[in-house]
Amino acid sequence: MMTYEQQYDVYLNEIQAALQAACDTYLPEESRVCQAARYSLLAGGKRIRAVLTMACCDMLGGDWRAAAHFAAAVEMLHCFSLIHDDLPCMDNDDFRRGKPSCHKAFDEATALLAGDVLLTEAFEVIANAPLPEHARIEAARLLAVGGGSRGMIWGQELDVTFEGKPLNEELLRKIHRNKTGALINAAVQMGVCAADGTAEDAAALERYAFDLGLVFQIVDDVLDVISTPEELGKPIGSDQENGKVTFATIYGPQGALELAQQINDESCRALEQAYGARAQFLIRLAGQLVTRRK
């Protein structure tokens, strides 16, 4: 019986191999744009979305090694969104995970195209994944729904639109649900579809996914207030500087953390009722996001 940490590493190794294979096949060295895409894609990070794809597939008895290709596609799409988000016309961030952001390490045109290439090739990775045709089609659909006009991009738009403007909690939840939750849900559902899960699986895990996304964002808001730049690998206090309304400003850091804990507890209880001991990994993963300090 593996520990949670060992299991996480097993998934992570498989994801890393799938990402490396995707780089070798779809991001040729001779292209500077593809070099920029690799720079951002292989910069590390916790790969939470990809791990969720693997773990959901695994919990439902699917071929989680094959699902690593879906997981890699999710990471590629996530990475595209970070690169474009950091561009001067968007958040204008010079650093990402403690390293210069893509347009700083390369240049703006290259970063723009690097994002475009990661988004495009994510769908090629799905099209060529070693899974049944119906699963590949469903995965492409799920990724587009989560990443597109009624998911992540809609969330990015809302985020930019309401920057510095007064927000209530309902609107804040709507932004998070789209900007973060939708892609996390796509990652989860791609795991479900890789395992040929049922509509009940999809519904149970959809709740888990959106709750997890919300908790992730609440904790993000809190860390921007209580963490240090060294711990976080990026400047802190940026939300306050931008006059942003966040869960930390609405509830205070401590109250926001309590809210996150409460959402997490209820969400994990529901998951355990549905899947029993099989849900342990997903429950531990969600719990880590509440207590993380970076």
Q: Is 32 exposed, middle or buried (0-12, 13-18, 19+ CB in 10 A)?
A: middle
Pick 112 or 219: Cβ nearer its own copies:
112
Output 117 or 172, the one with its CB closest to its own copies: 117
Beta-carbon-side half-sphere exposure of residue 17 (alpha carbons within 13 Å): 10
Question: Please, which residue, 34 or 268, has the CB nearer to its own copies?
Answer: 34
DSSP bridge pairs for 99: 96
The answer to whether 122 touches 138, Cβ cutoff 8 Å, is no
CA distance 102 to 104: 5
* Shortest distance (Å) from residue 191 CB to its own copies: 18
Residue 142 CB, nearest approach to its own copies (Å): 9
Nearer to its own copies, 136 or 176 (CB): 136
CB of 281 to its own copies, least distance (A): 29
CB closer to its own copies, 57 vs 135? 135
Least distance in angstroms from the C-beta of 27 to its own copies:
6
CA distance 32 to 117: 11
Per-residue three-class SS string for 64-96 = CCCCHHHHHHHHHHHHHHHHHHHCCCCCCCCEE
Partnered with residue 96 across adjacent β-strands are 99
Residues that bind its own copies (CB under 8 A): 26-28, 31-34, 37, 80, 84, 87, 89-90, 107-110, 112-113, 115-117, 119-121, 123-124, 126-128, 133-134, 136-138, 140-141, 143-145, 147-150, 153-154, 156-157, 160-161
* CA-CA-CA-CA torsion sign (254, 258, 263, 264): positive
CB of 163 to its own copies, least distance (A): 10
57 φ/ψ sector (left φ>0, alpha ψ -120 to 50, else beta): alpha
Judging by DSSP bridges, how do beta strands 99-100 and 95-96 pair with one another?
antiparallel
Cβ of residue 86: shortest distance to its own copies, in angstroms?
12
Return the bridge partners of 225, or none: none
Taking the least distance from each CB to its own copies, the nearer of 105 and 250 is 105
Return d(Cα 11, Cα 22) in angstroms, integer.
16
Which residue, 56 or 126, is less far from its own copies as judged by CB?
126
CB of 124 to its own copies, least distance (A): 4
